[in-house]
A and B are shown apart, each in its own frame.
Chain A
């Protein structure tokens, strides 16, 4: 029963009619013939035609009885029926339609009418079948997604349980000196969650056609070493032999996307390790003409031909029981295959049940010079010089980033929102600014626009969880110099710092010339009683606005000359103290002023 070539069952007791109709329809449809009602029912059940042309007047079981029987059986009830009749009897026709016939054709046949009516019915059949296929596809997809969600929530819950469990145990002080183990478990689970999230995001980006690759010169040996470090431990835990076989003629560097290449290799190797109960997993790398070939072989159970094609479809694993036994989202291979395509390559699978599998990644990758390598943060402590301003509203992230920066020997000023960022950038000169995008009070985008407008020229890096390229374009257009995605990849972070703080020597603050500064400070102190009098006068005249303005002014000037106490007292006056608290605050200020003036007089008398 194909849509391309429909089948029509012709039922008539007269052979001449059957012959005539067959000749008429042979070009457009497959023909099945029946000479009685019983025969028609038998053939309809067995061969499932797309359409039945049914004579009414037949000996024995007539057309109406046959129609009743066809409509009563689930196998045939949906097959449309057109009656053939020589009778000009509207009542009978009505009866036939009531029983479920779709249409009539009359004897003697008008060839064009017959053809048109049959074509109409077949068209309806075809549309209905398309709808049915579509609906089945949809329900299959929705089923797959439900299954995926169920898997995902399990996958997310497991590491989260471990993170929360260990964190609470740490808080409760249950580890007695063995905190490292708990912290490691939290870190591992956190990274696993991140991988999961990245998989899902990758998939949605791939499906929306938004995934981008970035071709960079890559140190092949270093990348393979990293891959090995990532998977070797898992192989060891399962007592599998893991080996790498590198051909002699490999180039030192290739031009490709290192993150994506690593992702594919780690995925293929992790799968191999996961599904191989004993024996060996190997990665061999060779150059074949202009292509690089990475082959992952295992001694696992192998995959039968029927499953091989399905493996690369999203949400599927070899067997739905597999996800229960081995975990995983069933996204890895689908993502890997699509990433390979993005890198002008493909993945070839060769597997025989019982004899293991081999997945080969073929990649178009030009040989190139290898770049200098940056050490990840933490490996070379205290190498950098400079003053960094950091804006991040999440306390944890801020502290973490601050520590990472300080460990590099950098001076760090950390603030919590865009407004504080703007103030700090206006007040001080920094060698580098790192800013989150979404922050309360003023977000990173507003802050960068204002910073650029007030003449801040420092390089500003956007820290963002949002890695869509059109958003990054907006950041760069708004004045950001560069961006770094969160969570922070330490290697990339180190590279950025090295780029924007190259041998920064300006750590030594510029200072006011000492002697002159002393004179200025003394001058300021001598002027203080006058400031104080003006403020007291404003208070006596109950001119609070004037008082606040004077206090504000005094706060700034006192800070300038490093009289923090005075500045702080002025700040309190400036910030709308309740009116009954004012006299006390004024007294405090006047005492402090008296003390400073006395000290200064003594100093100049000495």
Chain B
């Protein structure tokens, strides 16, 4: 497994989806992962930790992904945020890009896509020393 020196934050209210992403990322890279099930927790974790990459679900009850995206970008203009969404929610794409999202992945996830987007945003992974 290639080593990817990064800490990623997974933000999704659905524990199953978080578990899937966690498992997927661990199967691709050896990296640190943190999780949040709502926007406030996410912003809290982001400000207190050195987070390299955020996977952020768009559809969440309460504060939705777009609002969290706006907040994270206000906290850190350079935040690298990949929006997570399901098919058929294209309306959000343009808006999310405007707000500064760095990428998109759609459910059902393809591992190649996740790998490609991480490598695009974080640079190619190195082999374990």
CA–CA, A455 to B28, complex, Å? Answer: 19
Is there a chain A Cβ closer than 8 Å to B63's Cβ?
no
A455 touches B120 (CB 8 A): yes
Stretch at the interface among A153-161, A185-193, A553-561: A553-561
Which residue of B82, B93, B110, B113 is within 8 Å of A422 (Cβ)? B93
A509 to B20: give the CA distance in the assembly, Å.
17
The answer on a CB contact under 8 Å between A429 and B116 is: yes
Q: Which residues of B contact A560 (CB under 8 A)?
A: 16-17, 20, 107-109
Task: Knowing A512-B23, A553-B14, say if A559 contacts B112 (CB, 8 Å).
Answer: no
Q: Is A230 an interface residue, CB under 8 A from the partner?
A: no
The one of B15, B28, B87, B89 in contact with A510, judged by C-beta atoms closer than 8 angstroms, is B28
Contact B102 A524 (CB under 8 A): no
Query: Could you tell me the distance between the alpha carbons of A454 and B101 in the complex, rounded to whole angstroms?
Result: 7
B6 at the interface (CB under 8 A from A): no
Residues of B within 8 A of A523 (CB): 16, 19
Output the least CB separation between B100 and chain A (Å). 10
**Cα separation A516 to B25 with both chains bound (whole Å):** 13
Residue contact B28 to A419, C-beta cutoff 8 Å: no
Interface of A is mostly: helix
* Chain A window 576-589, contacts with chain B (Cβ cutoff 8 Å), 1 for yes, 0 for no: 00000000000000
B50 interface hit (Cβ, 8 Å): no
Chain A nearest CB, measured from B14 CB (Å): 6
CB distance from B59 to the nearest CB of A (A): 6
Contacts of B20 in A (CB 8 A): 512, 520, 560-561
Residue B73 is within 8 A (CB to CB) of chain A in the complex: no
Contacting residues of chain A (282-320) with chain B, CB-CB under 8 angstroms: none
Q: Which size bracket describes the interface of B in this complex?
A: 35 or more
Interface check B34, CB cutoff 8 A: no
Which residues of chain A are near B113, meaning CB under 8 Å?
426-429
A429-B112, A429-B116 as given contacts; A454 in contact with B107, CB under 8 Å: no
A372 on interface, CB distance cutoff 8 Å: no
- On chain A, the residues within 8 Å of B87 by CB distance are 423, 427, 556
In the complex formed, the residue of B with least CB distance to A510 is B111
Q: Which residues from 522 to 539 on chain A have a C-beta closer than 8 Å to any C-beta of chain B? A: 523-524, 527
A428 with B110, Cβ < 8 A, contacts A422-B90, A556-B86 known: yes
B105 within 8 A of A: yes
Q: Is the CB of A520 within 8 A of B23?
A: yes
Q: A509 contacts which chain B residues (CB < 8 A)?
A: 110-112
Given contacts A429-B112, A513-B23, contact A423 B16 (CB under 8 A): no
Closest residue of B by beta carbon distance from A524: B16
For B112, the chain A residues whose CB sits under 8 A away are 428-429, 506, 509-510
Contacts of B86 in A (CB 8 A): 552-553, 555-556, 559
Taken together as a complex, chains A and B put the C-alpha atoms of A527 and B20 apart, in Å, by 14
CB distance from A442 to the nearest CB of B (A): 9
Q: Are B24 and A455 in contact (CB under 8 A)?
A: no
Q: Say whether A603 faces chain B, with CB atoms less than 8 Å apart.
A: no
Q: Is the CB of A516 within 8 A of B94?
A: no
- Residues from chain B with a CB closer than 8 A to the CB of A426 are 93, 104-106, 113
Docked CA distance A511–B28 (Å): 10
B108 adjacent to A553 (CB under 8 Å) = no
Interchain CA distance A457-B93 in the complex, whole Å: 17
Distance in Å: Cβ of B46 to nearest Cβ of chain A: 20
- CB pair B97–A427 under 8 Å, yes or no, is no
Closest to A513 in B: B27
* B39 vs chain A, min Cβ distance (A): 16
Is the pair A559, B97 in contact by a Cβ cutoff of 8 Å? no
Closest-by-CB residue of B relative to A534 is B61
Any chain B CB within 8 A of the CB of A439?
Answer: no
Asked if A455 and B59 sit within 8 Å, CB to CB, the answer is no
Q: What are the interface flags for A491-511 relative to B under an 8 Å C-beta threshold, 1 for contact and 0 otherwise?
A: 000000000000000100111
| List of B residues within 8 angstroms of A559 by Cβ | 86, 107-108
Bound together, the chains give a CA A516 to CA B121 distance in angstroms of 27
Complex Cα gap A450–B102 (Å) = 11
With CB as the reference atom, state the residue of chain A lying closest to B97: A453
CB contact between A512 and one of B16, B17, B27, B104 (< 8 Å): that residue? B27
**A549: CB under 8 A from chain B?**
yes
Interface contact B115-A457, CB-CB below 8 Å: no
Task: Name B59's contact: one of A454, A512, A553 (CB within 8 Å).
Answer: A553
Residues of A within 8 A of B105 (CB): 426-427
Residues of A within 8 A of B43 (CB): none
A429 touches B23 (CB 8 A): no
Judging by beta carbons under 8 Å apart, are B14 and A557 in contact? yes
CB-defined contacts of B115 to chain A, threshold 8 Å: 429, 510
Complex CA gap A428/B105 in Å reads 8
B107 touches A557 (CB 8 A): yes
Residues of B within 8 A of A453 (CB): 97
* Complex CA distance for A506 and B112, rounded to whole angstroms: 9
The verdict on A400 contacting chain B, using a C-beta distance below 8 Å, is: no
List the B side residues contacting A120 at CB < 8 Å: none
* Residues of chain A with a CB closer than 8 A to B121's CB: 455
Contacts of B82 in A (CB 8 A): 455
User: Which residues of the other chain, B, contact A428 by a CB distance below 8 angstroms?
Assistant: 110, 112-113
Q: In the bound complex, do residue B19 and residue A562 qualify as a contact, i.e. CB atoms below 8 Å apart?
A: no
Contacts of B17 in A (CB 8 A): 556-557, 560
A517 at the B interface (CB under 8 A): yes
Q: Which residues of B contact A510 (CB under 8 A)?
A: 27-28, 110-112, 115
Report the nearest B residue to A450, measured CB to CB. B93
Chain B contact residues, CB within 8 Å of chain A: 14-17, 19-20, 23-24, 27-28, 59, 61, 82, 85-90, 93-94, 97, 101-113, 115-117, 120-121
Additional A-B contact list (11), CB under 8 Å, known A427-B108, A457-B116, A560-B17: A422-B93, A428-B110, A455-B120, A506-B112, A511-B111, A512-B20, A552-B89, A553-B86, A556-B87, A559-B107, A560-B20
Q: List 13 A-B contacts (CB under 8 A).
A: A426-B113, A429-B110, A454-B103, A455-B104, A457-B116, A509-B112, A510-B27, A511-B111, A520-B20, A523-B16, A553-B86, A555-B86, A560-B107
The 9 closest A-B pairs by CB, nearest first: A455-B103, A556-B86, A429-B112, A510-B111, A427-B106, A556-B107, A559-B108, A454-B104, A429-B113
Q: A residues bordering B, Cβ < 8 Å?
A: 419, 422-423, 426-429, 450, 453-455, 457, 506, 509-513, 516-517, 520, 523-524, 527, 549, 552-553, 555-557, 559-562
